Amino acid sequence: MNTHELDTKTALIQAAGELFAQHGLEGTSVRAIAEKASSNIAAVNYHFGSKENLYKETLLYVARYGETYPAVRFWKDETRLQTREGQIEAIRGIVAEKFRVIFAENTPSWFWPLMLRSLLDPSPSLAEVVQNVFKPEHDAITQIVRHIKPEMDEATAHLWGFLLFGAVAIYVFARAPILMLLGRQDYSREFLDSVSDFVSNALLASLDLR
Amino acid sequence: MNTHELDTKTALIQAAGELFAQHGLEGTSVRAIAEKASSNIAAVNYHFGSKENLYKETLLYVARYGETYPAVRFWKDETRLQTREGQIEAIRGIVAEKFRVIFAENTPSWFWPLMLRSLLDPSPSLAEVVQNVFKPEHDAITQIVRHIKPEMDEATAHLWGFLLFGAVAIYVFARAPILMLLGRQDYSREFLDSVSDFVSNALLASLDLR
DNA sequence: GTCTATAAACCGATAGAC
DNA sequence: GTCTATCGGTTTATAGAC
């Protein structure tokens, strides 16, 4: 696989990812992808076999280059979770890094809308995405929460993980309605910082950590 | 408009709603809608003018028959919010009713997936949906929260509303992944009750109401 | 590997019979 | 109001030239 071929494949994945994020798998045509990637309609089938396979590759691409597993890292360094201050720092750090990575300047804006859309769409790739992208981080979060509150049962720890997920994800998949309700044009850096702070505080309060 | 015509229109809306929820506007064909509604491909254009217009009608149908504005009701009956117990009851009641209505037996399972998908899709109907379906409830929630905590500024009250929205919506749009992570086949009544309880407690904790 | 041309199927919308 | 037939356009996928 030479450089040129890699360039074409990457260009197709990036063009496709952006279009899939906006219009979904079924709403995006191979022609539109080829045109956006400055390629031709035969290239998609040559490099990926089919549109469905290219869709799966765009999801794997996001999992590879947009990965954010802050809870996994905090859980590996368990010693920092021994003190109350360390626990607070961990929760704040996890939330802050999620917002920071998801809305970073150099994170393509289609990464997470595509990820969340893939959760809503019935697709054969869904199980793979959940297993590789969401399960490791979710598992680490439940472990951390049960470490902080040993009396919490496993079922409740799962719900806490979903609360964190929902509190962050809403700003991705309901971006347009949120901006409408706030009368804003876009999320500013200051706004995202205040959201991260607010979400951290709410999650800490639910753990009796202040 | 006779009964038969009403039947056909309703059948088309219900068939279309289910397909739009699964495959989106662009992923659903007029032929598939007509077949599912046991009608013919000319019926959609005869009754609704276009596929886009039928899409808009399915959203209005959900807004009409699936409406759940518990916060609006609680805010209208402001006297119940004077005591601490009344405030706790209000928050619990709002959360419980949202889960109850969204996952009710007689609520078609496509109602809220379609609603949430419409937030993610760039569509001319989005502004109308936000204005008619989400804004009234969101406004009531911010009012109630600011009544409970008068020192909270308006921006933070908005964030609290989004926290509530995200905490509930995650169980709609990430239903499949959540079931995978829990190793379940479906949400049970007991599970949804425990989720409603957990979310209420977390939201109350963030307001220092226990 | 890249591209044009094209095949075969499908799309939304509509005309016209009943 | 319902339905079939059909128009004009687009879709994915592929064959074959370079």
More confident residue, B169 or A120: B169
In this prediction, residues B173-188 reach a mean pLDDT of 97
SS (H, E, C) chain A: CCHHHHHHHHHHHHHHHHHHHHHCCCCCCHHHHHHHCCCCHHHHHHHHCCHHHHHHHHHHHHHHHCCCCHHHHHHHCHHHHCCHHHHHHHHHHHHHHHHHHHCCCCCCCCHHHHHHHHHHCCCCCHHHHHHHHHHHHHHHHHHHHHHHCCCCCHHHHHHHHHHHHHHHHHHHHCHHHHHHHHCCCCCCHHHHHHHHHHHHHHHHHHCCCC
Q: Does B41 touch chain A (CB under 8 A)?
A: no
pLDDT at B122 over 90: no
- pLDDT tens for each residue of A45-81: 999 999 999 999 999 999 999 888 999 999 999 899 9
**Cross-chain Cβ contact B27/A22 below 8 Å:** no
At residue B210, the pLDDT reads 79
What are the structural domain ranges in chain B? 3-63, 66-206
Residue among B162, B176, B203 minimizing CB distance to A170: B162
At residue A1, the pLDDT reads 53
Cα A201 to Cα A96, A98, B150, B199, B208: the distances in Å are 11, 15, 18, 15, 11
A3 — pLDDT class (breaks 50, 70, 90): low
pLDDT at A124 over 80: no
Contact predicate B169/B100, CB 8 Å:
no
> Is the torsion defined by CA of A20, B187, B95, B58 positive or negative?
positive
At residue B175, the pLDDT reads 97
Tell me the shortest Cα–Cα distance from A29 to chain B, in angstroms.
11
- pLDDT tens for each residue of A86-97: 999 999 999 999
Q: Does B208 touch chain A (CB under 8 A)?
A: yes
Q: Which of the nucleotides in strand C have any atom less than 7 Å away from a protein CB atom?
A: 1-6, 10-16
Q: Which fold has domain B3-63?
A: Arc Repressor Mutant, subunit A (1.10.10)
At residue A2, the pLDDT reads 60
Average pLDDT, chain A: 95
Q: Which residues of B touch A176 (CB under 8 A)?
A: 119, 122, 126, 130
SS (H, E, C) A62-121: HHHHCCCCHHHHHHHCHHHHCCHHHHHHHHHHHHHHHHHHHCCCCCCCCHHHHHHHHHHC
At residue A121, the pLDDT reads 80
How far apart CA B120 and CA A113 sit, in angstroms, is: 8
pTM listed for this prediction:
0.96
B146 — pLDDT class (breaks 50, 70, 90): very high
A123 — pLDDT class (breaks 50, 70, 90): confident
B98 — pLDDT class (breaks 50, 70, 90): very high
**Cross-chain Cβ contact B178/A194 below 8 Å:** no
More confident residue, A120 or A34: A34
Estimate the crossing angle of helix A111-120 against helix A3-23, to 10 degrees: 60
A129 — pLDDT class (breaks 50, 70, 90): confident
Q: Which of A178, A207, A208 best tests the B interface by mutation, with the highest count of B CBs <10 A?
A: A178
| Residue B167: its H or E element | helix B154-173
In this prediction, residues A133-144 reach a mean pLDDT of 96
At residue A108, the pLDDT reads 97
Dihedral through CA A134, CA A137, CA A138, CA A144, nearest 10? 180
Residue among B26, B126, B205 minimizing CB distance to A27: B26
Residue with tokens 């496993």: A154
Which one, of A58, A32, A34, lies nearest residue A133 by Cα? A58
B3 — pLDDT class (breaks 50, 70, 90): low
How far apart CA A31 and CA A19 sit, in angstroms, is: 11
Binding residues for strand C (Cβ < 7 Å): A 1-2, 4-5, 7-8, 39-43, 46-47; B 28-32, 41-42, 44-46, 49-52
Contact predicate B163/B206, CB 8 Å:
yes
- pLDDT tens for each residue of A147-177: 999 999 999 999 999 999 999 999 999 999 9
Average pLDDT, chain B: 95
Residue B49 is classified by DSSP as: S
User: Residue B186: what residue type?
Assistant: D
Q: Which residues of A touch B116 (CB under 8 A)?
A: 120, 173
Q: Is B198 helix (H, G, I), strand (E, B) or coil?
A: helix
- pLDDT tens for each residue of B9-28: 999 999 999 999 999 999 99
C-alpha angle with apex B43: B37 to B47, nearest 5 degrees? 110
How far apart CA A60 and CA A157 sit, in angstroms, is: 28
Report the top-level CATH class of B66-206: mainly alpha
Q: Is B186 helix (H, G, I), strand (E, B) or coil?
A: coil
Residue B208 is classified by DSSP as: T
- pLDDT tens for each residue of A180-209: 999 999 999 999 999 999 999 999 999 999
**Cross-chain Cβ contact B134/A165 below 8 Å:** no
C-alpha angle with apex A23: A25 to B139, nearest 5 degrees? 130
B76 — pLDDT class (breaks 50, 70, 90): very high
Q: Which residues of B touch A195 (CB under 8 A)?
A: 159
B123 — pLDDT class (breaks 50, 70, 90): confident
